[in-house]
Amino acid sequence: MRVLGIEGTAWAASAAVFDVEADDVFIESDPYEPDSGGIHPREAAEHMGEAIPRVVELALDRARELDAGEQGPPVDAVAFSRGPGLGPCLRIVGTAARALAGALDVPLVGVNHMVAHLEIGRHESGFDSPVCLNASGANAHLLGYHNGRYRVLGETMDTGVGNAIDKFTRHVGWSHPGGPKVEQAAREGEYLDLPYVVKGMDFSFSGIMSAAKDAYDDGAAVEDVCCGLQETVFAMLTEVSERALSLTGTDELVLGGGVGQNARLREMLGAMCDARGAEFYAPDPRFLRDNAGMIAVLGAKMFAADDTLAIEASAVDPNFRPDAVPVTWRGGEESVARVSHDGAEDESEIRGAEATVTVADDLVTKRRLPKEYRHPVLDARLRRERTTAEARLLSEARRVGVPTPLVRDVDRREATLTLQRVGEADLAARLSTDAVERVGEHLAALHGAGIVHGDPTTRNVRVGPSKVFLVDFGLGFHTGHVEDHAMDLHVFGQSIEGTAETPAPLLDAFETGYLAAGGDAARTVVDRLREVEGRGRYQ
């Protein structure tokens, strides 16, 4: 079986042929290169109109070579990127795919571009059910397969990682694409401290970009700014990837997207996985940047599952969400969620995303060990700040009626806390509507006191016979801003969606508890949550 794929979501006009039996992918690409600034949608579409026929014809020539002596069309199906992407570019690709499928009289397959980034990594690595970090120009998110869909475990709160970097490089007058130029300059620079914004498995780049521009304008060497920018942004992506591994329990991580070509990002992710005993896979660069090879490979999987499109139902979707795709080609395979649901824990040492927890009798010792992937200056600052914040906020939360462990001792220099042991198991192992309703009530109490937990996942809640405890306030802070309160709810909801077998009743119970305990202010926060959920930031 052979499938022809066509890609053209933004800048790369690309066509490919995937020979399934030989497991061979031929790719022909013609990227758009703007004279100045970033991608101009009209110019990109004009480029697609000129380049797509050329690359498709070259791919067809390859298919005909493979088809020598056979009867029938040179390919069995035509796959194309339906979205997400720039509408004018997508429409050109969609029109070309429909015309080609009609001319060859073969089925048409519509592929989600971001799911294709994940699937090419899974295909090439041979992993069963990995977490995928998609780090591309317009996107940055973590995906994992669960209950027939790819769930968004974490995402950018504003812009894609590549676009964020490009905003800085345009500011200093560098041409598109900016990522390789930042990577090169960073090798000559010294670390410069910049804002670090992680909320659970979500993250934000806007403040970092503003600070980087300001530092450059104030006279900092561009090499130093690039070093600080790269170290900060990629440490954030590595940290949230580790959080996703910890939440789900999987030990497989794949990388997708054009920013994944950066050697420093791959180095950080590899070091993190080595420290956890997890496996990491970064595809060949030709599969990381936008390419039709990944479209053809996923298209073949979808075609084999009879997941094809009628011409009249093949409209492109610039806002095509990865979690809106029914994953027909995976059947009943194992979920990314591998957290134990067998009840009480008896481990004397538990490895989390950020710390190692040692349990002895009624005491817990939590050590934030150095992260080898982070720059030492950044790592020391985060470990110190988070230890201090956790000790303070645990006490403040308890004063407003939220059950938390008592702090017995704090060693800020060693980033170590000694805490009261609470609960019998993580909420991840004891999911129930009653327990998550209590979590909703506790978050409402925190928000009413102007406290944000920062990382309220099912692994940071402990369940006992009569109480539900909130733990791990290391990402917490004080604020009365409704957006920050809504993000707390968003983080918890994502952790439920990505791991629970039946998330809907749990999410309903969580929201019921929050509204009942929080009154009118809670209703305002839930309304903002609906807005947050509808933004589609990871398109």
CA–CA separation, 227 vs 339, rounded Å?
37
Residue 100 and residue 147 share a domain = no
CA–CA separation, 464 vs 444, rounded Å?
20
Residue 293 and residue 278 share a domain = no
Indicate the number of domains in the chain: 3
Q: pLDDT category, 437, cuts 50, 70, 90?
A: very high
Residue 539 lies in a domain: no
Residue 35 has what pLDDT? 66
Residue 27 lies in a domain: yes
Residue 306 and residue 253 share a domain = no
> How confident is the model over 241-289, as pLDDT tens digits?
999 999 999 999 999 999 999 999 999 999 999 999 999 999 999 999 9
Ranges 147-151, 489-493, 513-517: which has the least confidence: 147-151
> How confident is the model over 195-221, as pLDDT tens digits?
999 998 999 999 999 999 999 999 999
Percent of residues, the chain, with pLDDT higher than 90: 84
End-to-end Cα spacing for the chain: 31
Enter the DSSP assignment of 309: B
Tokens of 74: 């040179």
SS (H, E, C) 235-278: HHHHHHHHHHHHHHCCCEEEEECHHHHCHHHHHHHHHHHHHHCC
Residue 538 has what pLDDT? 41
**CA proximity to 82, closest of 315, 239, 348:** 315
Residue 277 and residue 250 share a domain = yes
CA–CA separation, 69 vs 521, rounded Å?
72
Residue 162 and residue 55 share a domain = no
CA–CA separation, 381 vs 191, rounded Å?
13
Residue 319 lies in a domain: yes
Percent of residues, the chain, with pLDDT higher than 70: 96
CATH number (domain holding residue 301)? 3.30.420.40
CA–CA separation, 529 vs 482, rounded Å?
9
Enter the DSSP assignment of 76: S
Tokens of 2: 């052979």
Q: pLDDT category, 361, cuts 50, 70, 90?
A: confident
Tokens of 375: 């720059």
Residue 489 and residue 528 share a domain = yes
Ranges 15-29, 38-52, 298-312, 369-383: which has the least confidence: 38-52
Across the range 93-106, mean pLDDT stands at 97
> CA torsion angle for 3, 9, 12, 17 (degrees, to 10)?
0
Enter the DSSP assignment of 72: S
49 vs 177, more confident: 49
Residue 337 lies in a domain: no
Tokens of 331: 């059947």
Residue 449 lies in a domain: yes
How far are the Cα atoms of 346, 486, 490 from residue 435, in angstroms, in the given order? Answer: 21, 20, 17
Phi-psi region of 454 (alpha: psi -120 to 50; beta: other; left: phi over 0): left
CA–CA separation, 537 vs 516, rounded Å?
29
Q: Among 256, 282, 308, where does a domain finish?
A: 282
Q: Please return the burial class of 355, using the count of CB atoms within 10 Å of its CB with bins 0-12, 13-18 and 19+.
A: buried
Decide if 92 contacts 50 (C-beta within 8 A). no
Ranges 90-104, 348-362, 396-410, 496-510: which has the least confidence: 348-362
Q: Please return the burial class of 170, using the count of CB atoms within 10 Å of its CB with bins 0-12, 13-18 and 19+.
A: middle
Tell whether the torsion through CA atoms of 536, 295, 146 and 236 is positive or negative.
negative
Residue 537 has what pLDDT? 52
Across the range 77-86, mean pLDDT stands at 96
> How confident is the model over 155-184, as pLDDT tens digits?
998 889 999 999 999 999 998 889 999 999
Please provide residue 289's backbone torsions phi and psi, each rounded to the nearest 5 degrees.
-70, 160
- The identity of residue 339, as a single letter, is V
CA–CA separation, 371 vs 275, rounded Å?
9
Catalytic annotation, residues: 455
- DSSP track, 97-137: HHHHHHHHT--EEEEEHHHHHHHHHHHHH--SS-EEEEE-S
Question: How big is the chain by its Cα radius of gyration, in Å?
Answer: 24
Alpha helices in 249-374 (DSSP H): 263-276, 285-288, 292-304
Question: In 10 A of CB 362, how many CB atoms?
Answer: 10
Q: Among 228, 262, 282, where does a domain finish?
A: 282
Residue 344: pLDDT over 50:
no
SS (H, E, C) 163-216: HHHHHHHHHCCCCCCCHHHHHHHHCCCCCCCCCCCEECCEECCHHHHHHHHHHH
Residue 364 lies in a domain: yes
Residue 38 has what pLDDT? 66
Residue 66 has what pLDDT? 87
Residue 376 and residue 306 share a domain = no
Regarding pTM above 0.85, the answer is: yes
CATH number (domain holding residue 459)? 1.10.510.10
Residue 175 lies in a domain: yes
Residue 386 and residue 530 share a domain = yes
Residue 153 has what pLDDT? 93
Residue 334 has what pLDDT? 72
Ranges 36-45, 84-93, 118-127: which has the least confidence: 36-45
All residues at 6 or more sequence positions from 528 whose CB lies less than 8 Å from its CB, including other chains: 482, 483, 485, 486
Residue 294 and residue 273 share a domain = no
Residue 113 and residue 14 share a domain = yes
CA–CA separation, 508 vs 446, rounded Å?
20
Residue 140 and residue 111 share a domain = no
Q: Among 282, 304, 335, where does a domain finish?
A: 282
Residue 432 and residue 405 share a domain = yes
Across the range 23-30, mean pLDDT stands at 96
Enter the DSSP assignment of 416: E
**CA proximity to 296, closest of 11, 24, 12:** 24
Residue 330 lies in a domain: no
Residue 36 has what pLDDT? 63
Tokens 């934000």, residue located:
204
Enter the DSSP assignment of 334: P
Tokens 């306030």, residue located:
473
Residue 343 has what pLDDT? 42
Q: pLDDT category, 341, cuts 50, 70, 90?
A: very low
Decide if 292 contacts 303 (C-beta within 8 A). no
Domain extent, residue 472, equals 349-534
- Please give the biggest Cα pair distance in the chain: 79
